[in-house]
Amino acid sequence: MALADILVHLDTSPGSIPRLSLAISLAREHRARLTGLFVITHQYYQGQGSAVEASAERIRQIFTELTSQSGVDTEWLCSDWSVVGVGMAEILSHHAHYTDLLIVGQSSAETEKAGIPNGLPERLVLAAGRPVMIVPHAGVFASAGKKVLVAWKAGRESTRAVNDAMPLLKMAKRVDVLAIDSSESYGDDGQILCAGICEHLCRHGVTASPEKMIISGSSVGDALLNRACDEGYDLLVMGAYAHSPQGKMTLGTVARQLLKQMTVPVIMSH
């Protein structure tokens, strides 16, 4: 399986253009079709219709300009769903059903000013049914997938994340699989925790190095963020555990921390 269709969500926030540049780079590397999507929801029709349409046209022009010399097959979509009760997450999830990877921006004060609902990435991870790459709102990322850190915890979510990220793992120059534990019950290294998934990756032509990290006094999220920063990874792959307190599905503590504090692009699958 390879990436054949990539969908990137674009908006008027400052992080939108760097996000598009990264999406173009990925589409070129994987020879994938790239679709740029700008969403107009019903809320914009509270006397703001013409201004939002002008913004959509400006982003379309930027998309066309940046992709025209890339050699990438592209499509532009401006989704104008003026239906009460249908929000941006539902619209993006609908379009994500027909793609291999959805690329969105991290929530920030700038995205809220641009009309993007706070917590949009979390809702998409839970609802899209596709892997979601979240790009930090600050910084420029020339690549995502050259040096990859896989956060491994045997279970449905991590298994799904590794499978979804397989096209990128196959093209990576380095893949490390990290199991984090707060006890020493599994021995001194990551062989026991990560052996099975590393063997599976090897059968797909991916050479992955297993490692175990024992933590005390810090969170799993902090450990992942510190490792990604210290070792210079350009992509983190992780499963997004979710639970449903009071009947509402929400991401677990680690995923929510990563969404708030990420410094590198993260692929999450649920």
What pLDDT sits at residue 85?
A: 66
Answering whether pTM is above 0.85, one says yes
Do 151 and 128 lie in a common domain?
no
Range of the domain at 10: 5-135
pLDDT 10s digits, 36-81: 999 987 654 455 567 888 899 999 999 999 999 899 999 999 998 7
Give the Cα separation of 104 and 120 in Å (integer).
Answer: 9
Q: Note the pLDDT tens digit of each residue in 108-141.
A: 999 999 989 999 999 999 999 999 999 999 999 9
When divided into structural domains, the chain yields a total of 2
Q: pLDDT class for 186, splitting at 50, 70, 90? A: very low
Q: Is the same domain home to 31 and 130? A: yes
Q: Residues 53, 173: one domain?
A: no
Q: Model confidence over 132-183: pLDDT tens digits?
A: 999 999 999 999 999 999 999 888 999 999 999 999 999 999 999 999 875 5
Tell me the pLDDT band of 217, cut-offs 50, 70 and 90.
low
100 and 36 in a common domain: yes
Does residue 82 sit in the same domain as residue 192? no
